C-alpha cells in the first residue's frame, strides 16, 4: 500500500483546491482499504453509512433484477465516488458495488465525518455539489440517448465519452489513442440500453472499418476523425 495516499488522492477534482496542510488534516490514510478483483464493497446494503472515493481501479455499480440477475447501471473510475452520495443513511435501494479488476483502493468516510468535513471546508462542499450535479446530468443524458437515439449512435456517444473522461491514455499517433478497457460487451449493452449481441456486432463493424480495435486490456481508437457520428 502507498505510504502517502493523501497526496495521491489530492490529484482528483474534488480535493484539488485544498492546500497540502488542509489535506493532511483529513487523515485519509486511516480510511484506506484495498480490494481484490470481484470483491464486493457492499451488496444490497441496508442502513449503510459510508461514502467511498476511488484512488485506483474500477467499481461496478448495479442491482439485482427479480430473477436474481445482476444489472449494471454504472462503471466508476479513479476520482469517482459512490455509496451514500446523498449523505443520508438509507438502504441504497438494493444497490451493490463490486470491483471490476484487481488493484482497487478506496478511501471511505462515514456520512457524519464527511458532512462535518464539508461544513468546515465550504470550498469542498461547493465542489462536491457541482460534481453531484454533473453526475446527475450524465445519467439524464444517457436516459435521453436511450429514448431518442438508435443503438449505433448510443454506442458512438458512449465511446466518445470514455475517451474524453479517461485519465490514462497512450497517444500512439495524431489519429490513434489507446485507453484501458475495463468493460465487457454485456456491461456496455446495459449502460447504453441494448443487448450484448448488438454491442458485439456494432464493435465488429467499427473494427472492420479500422476505426477501433479492442483487447482484454485496451480500447484502441485507431482513427479518431472517423469516430465522429457523421462519418462512422
Phi, psi (5° rounding) for residue 59? -120, 130
pLDDT above 90: percentage of residues in the chain: 37
Does 47 score more than 60 pLDDT?
Answer: yes
CB 69 within 8 A of CB 107: no
Q: Count of residues for the chain?
A: 232
Cβ density class 85-95: b for 16+ within 10 Å, e for less: beeeeeebeeb
CB 182 within 8 A of CB 188: no
Identify the CATH assignment for 5-143 out of 2.60.120.10, 3.40.50.720, 3.90.180.10, 3.40.50.300: 2.60.120.10
Q: Please write the tens of the pLDDT for every residue from 196-221.
A: 999 999 999 999 999 999 988 899 99
Q: Kindly list the domain boundaries of the chain, sorted by start residue.
A: 5-143, 150-227
* Ranges of H-type helices in 91-168: 111-120, 122-148, 151-165
pLDDT band of 76, cuts 50, 70, 90: very high
- At residue 24, the pLDDT reads 66
Strand 170-171's sheet: what is its strand order?
A: 170-171, 177-180, 218-221, 212-214
Measure the CA–CA gap between 139 and 149, rounded to whole angstroms.
15
- Point out which residues pair with 71 in neighbouring strands: 63
Whether the predicted model's global pTM rises above the 0.75 cut: yes
What SS3 state is found at 83? strand
Q: Please write the tens of the pLDDT for every residue from 89-115.
A: 777 778 899 998 878 999 888 888 889
pLDDT band of 10, cuts 50, 70, 90: low
More confident of the two residues 124 and 91: 124
Q: Provide the CB-side half-sphere exposure for 150 (13 A, CA).
A: 4
Q: Give the CATH fold of the 150-227 domain.
A: Arc Repressor Mutant, subunit A (1.10.10)
CB 101 within 8 A of CB 148: no
Amino acid at each position: 500500500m502507498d505510504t502517502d495516499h493523501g497526496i495521491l488522492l489530492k490529484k482528483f477534482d474534488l480535493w484539488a483546491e485544498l492546500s497540502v496542510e488542509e489535506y493532511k488534516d483529513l487523515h485519509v490514510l486511516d480510511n484506506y482499504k484495498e480490494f481484490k478483483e470481484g470483491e464486493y464493497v457492499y451488496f444490497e446494503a441496508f442502513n449503510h453509512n459510508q461514502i467511498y472515493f476511488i484512488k485506483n481501479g474500477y467499481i461496478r455499480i448495479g442491482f439485482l433484477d427479480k430473477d436474481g440477475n445482476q444489472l449494471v447501471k454504472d462503471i466508476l473510475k479513479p476520482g469517482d465516488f459512490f455509496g451514500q452520495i446523498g449523505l443520508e443513511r438509507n438502504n441504497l435501494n438494493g444497490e451493490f458495488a463490486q470491483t471490476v479488476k484487481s488493484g482497487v483502493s478506496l478511501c471511505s468516510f462515514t456520512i457524519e465525518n464527511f458532512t462535518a468535513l464539508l461544513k468546515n471546508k465550504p470550498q469542498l462542499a461547493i465542489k462536491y455539489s457541482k460534481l453531484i450535479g454533473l453526475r446527475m446530468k450524465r445519467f439524464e443524458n444517457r436516459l435521453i440517448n436511450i429514448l431518442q437515439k438508435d443503438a449505433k449512435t448510443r454506442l458512438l456517444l458512449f465511446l466518445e465519452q470514455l475517451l474524453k473522461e479517461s485519465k490514462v491514455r497512450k497517444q500512439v499517433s495524431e489519429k490513434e489513442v489507446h485507453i484501458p478497457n475495463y468493460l465487457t460487451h454485456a456491461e456496455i449493452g446495459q449502460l447504453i440500453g441494448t443487448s450484448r449481441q448488438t454491442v458485439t456486432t456494432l464493435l465488429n463493424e467499427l473494427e472492420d472499418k479500422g476505426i477501433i480495435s479492442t483487447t482484454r486490456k485496451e480500447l484502441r481508437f485507431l482513427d479518431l476523425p472517423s469516430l465522429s457520428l457523421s462519418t462512422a
